[in-house]
Chain A
Amino acid sequence: MIAEHVAFGIIAAVMVASALRVVTTRDIVHAALYLVIVLAGVAALFLLVGAEFTGITQVLIYIGAVIVLFLFGIMLTRSDFDQDEETDHKRKFPAILTALLLAAVMIGALVDRFEDVELDATPQTTAQVSDELFSQYIVPFEAVSVLLLAALIGAIVIARREEGG
């Protein structure tokens, strides 16, 4: 049990430090790369509580796809090397306020639900995850699929309209 606590402490410290660098660095590509470390930390935490499938999915989706799209977008739009364009921190205070409010809500919700719950850290197999997903949680699962489909179609419609003028 102690090994898990030490591992959690190290991962959490690295994540917090990187997360701070995401918002304080002035180079937007560096910010995206620090975000990679934060997301890898999330994956490591999932593995630590035995959620293998979720941890690997985190790597595949967030690092392999979302961050790549971020970097892709940044590099397509800001590729002028001679101009040292840096991010300003003008809206610092609204950002801090939003972050504090979000933290308060999340901490409140998590403590309320998990205060006395001892998490079972035995590894969960993919078969167990899929069995639960397609029986107990089938309705939310299908609802999310429809929601994503709607978002996809919406994005295509918007992109097409701009193209047509």
Chain B
Amino acid sequence: MSSATVMSGLLAVEVPYWASAIIKLGVVALVVPTAALVLGYVFLLKMMSFMQSRLGPMEAGPYGTLQLLADGLKFIQKEDIFPEKADRTVFALAPLVVLISTFLIYVVIPTGPDAVVAQLDVGIFYALAVSSLSVVGILMAGWASANKYALMGGLRAAGQLIAYELPLVLAVMGVVIQAGTLDLQKIVAAQANGEIFGWGGIGNPFILTQFVGFFIFLVAVQAETTQPPFDMPVAESEIVGGYQVEYTGFRFLFFFMGEFGTAFAFAALAAVLFLGGWALPWGDLTHWGFNIAGPVIMLVKVLAVSALIFWFRFTYPRLREDQLQRLAWKFLIPLSLINIVVTGIFKVVL
């Protein structure tokens, strides 16, 4: 995230359009792998190890901090293998589609009053729409591998991602109704300037009023990123990695970065929607200093949400396909609809 801090400093200076576009592109291109590394190291390697009473990697760098960099280098220098019957073009494009979908989410995530790549009027709606593109990439990978495990994984992924996209979108609706906008910057402002029954001491972070939405959002995110307990599409013990089974080297690395990059992006969206984003409820939101402090505040909140996500991941056993579908259609979707109705009533009454 330090790169985002640099960007916010640069944005204060007047720069031509093309230069700012290139800087912004560069920042996104840096943030995604960094995010994947941070989440992978802090949670996948260390938190899981501690929960299982072991140390995790300790050799590469102090406390094993360079382990994932070493892994990345290893992946890059591996042979790029195509299965004999694979559909070569589609096989090669699939990881790129997943990764591009991840990159596109970062475009709208705000980390300060000016530290955002693009402030869109349709903000959160855009983020949810581009995040749904990754399913196409996963289906492409499952099909093009010409492998029955890959195909089954692809189909399971498609069924799961379609089912959990609905609660994901509906959970956000409550926040949108309360804030009265889709724009992520305005949602941040609405929380910082909000009041709880006339008391504005800590603003109104929507996690207090939309705790049902927050819960549904986290569960749906868990399913969207195919993390345990929703890892039927990649279940190693049954379909040996699902749609990823035939991928090696840097193409596999793309899938890994896509998974953790998306988890980070969704954690950031949750932080913006429910925890107040880059702002603190005190102080002037338009102050230039928030461009420096914003990314730091944001990182703390993102790591807090990620800790919850990964805590679930390492705690619960895998759900069966029917349990997984029942949870989405018979519990989460009705619950999120009730949440929308209740929020709507309160919005009109208050």
Residue in chain B with minimal CB distance to A69: B162
* Binary flags per residue of B95-122, CB closer than 8 Å to A gives 1, else 0: 0000000000000000000000000111
Of residues 65 to 118 in B, which have CB atoms within 8 Å of A's CB atoms? 85, 87, 90
B165 lies within 8 A of A64 (CB): yes
B155/A75 in contact, CB under 8 A: yes
**Is the beta-carbon distance between A60 and B121 smaller than 8 angstroms?**
no
Let me know if B193 is at the binding interface, CB within 8 A.
Answer: no
Least CB distance from A108 to B in Å reads: 33
A60 to B120, CA, bound (A): 16
* A79 in the interface (beta carbon within 8 A): yes
Task: Answer whether residue A68 sits at the interface, using C-beta atoms and an 8 A cutoff.
Answer: yes
Q: Which residues of A contact B158 (CB under 8 A)?
A: 68, 71-72
The DSSP consensus for interface residues of chain A is: helix
The distance from the CB of A76 to the nearest CB of chain B, in whole angstroms, is 7
Query: How long is the Cα–Cα vector from A125 to B121 in the complex, in angstroms?
Result: 6
Q: Which residues of A contact B154 (CB under 8 A)?
A: 75
Q: Does B128 contact A (CB under 8 A)?
A: yes
- In A19-44, which residues have CB < 8 Å from any B CB? 27, 29-30, 33, 36
Q: Name the segment of A8-16, A51-59, A85-93, A136-144 touching the other chain.
A: A51-59
Number of residues on chain B facing chain A (CB within 8 A): 31
B136 touches A (CB below 8 Å) = yes
B318 to chain A, nearest CB (A): 22
In this complex, the member of A64, A125, A126 whose beta carbon has the largest number of chain B beta carbons within 10 angstroms is A64
Given contacts A33-B90, A64-B165, A126-B182, is CB(A71)–CB(B122) below 8 Å? no
The 8 Å CB contact of A53, one of B87, B125, B130, is B125
Note all chain A residues with C-beta closer than 8 A to B142.
Answer: 75
B200 within 8 A of A: no
The answer to whether A75 touches B136, judged by C-beta atoms less than 8 angstroms apart, is no
Flag whether A65 is at the interface (Cβ < 8 A): yes
How far apart are B87's CB and chain A's nearest CB, in angstroms? 7
Evaluate contact between B133 and A75: CB separation under 8 angstroms: no
The answer to whether the Cβ of B45 comes within 8 Å of any Cβ in the partner chain is: no
Scoring A residues 112 to 153 as 1 if CB is less than 8 Å from chain B, else 0, what string do you get? 000000000001011100000000000000000000000000
**Chain B's interface: helix, strand, loop or mixed, by majority?**
helix
Whether A67 sits at the interface, judged by CB under 8 Å, is yes
Contact, CB under 8 Å: B125 / A56: yes
Tell me which of A53, A60, A72, A127 has the highest count of chain B C-beta atoms within 10 A of its own C-beta: A60
Decide if B129 touches A81 in the complex (CB within 8 Å): no
Minimum distance in angstroms from B137 CB to a CB of chain A: 10
Residues of B contacting A68 with CB < 8 Å? 135-136, 139, 158, 161-162
Closest Cβ of chain B to A28, distance in Å, is 11
| Residue B325 lies at the interface, judged by CB distance under 8 Å to chain A | no
> Shortest CB–CB separation between residue B321 and chain A, in angstroms?
14
Instruction: Say whether B182 contacts A59, CB under 8 Å.
Output: no
CB-defined contacts of B314 to chain A, threshold 8 Å: none
Chain B contacts for A57, CB-based, 8 A: 125, 129
Chain A residues with CB under 8 A of B120: 52
**Choice from B85, B90, B159, B161 contacting A81 with Cβ under 8 Å:** B85
Report if B126 contacts A (CB, 8 A). Answer: yes
CA–CA, A103 to B130, complex, Å? 31
User: Which B residues are in CB contact (< 8 Å) with A33?
Assistant: 90, 136, 140
Residues in A with CB closer than 8 Å to B155 are: 72, 75-76
- With the chains together, A3 CA to B154 CA distance in Å? 40
Determine if B121 and A67 form an interchain contact, defined as CB atoms under 8 angstroms apart: no
* B159–A29 CB distance below 8 A: no
B121 touches A64 (CB 8 A): no
8 A-B residue pairs with CB within 8 Å = A33-B140, A36-B136, A57-B125, A60-B128, A71-B143, A71-B158, A75-B154, A76-B155
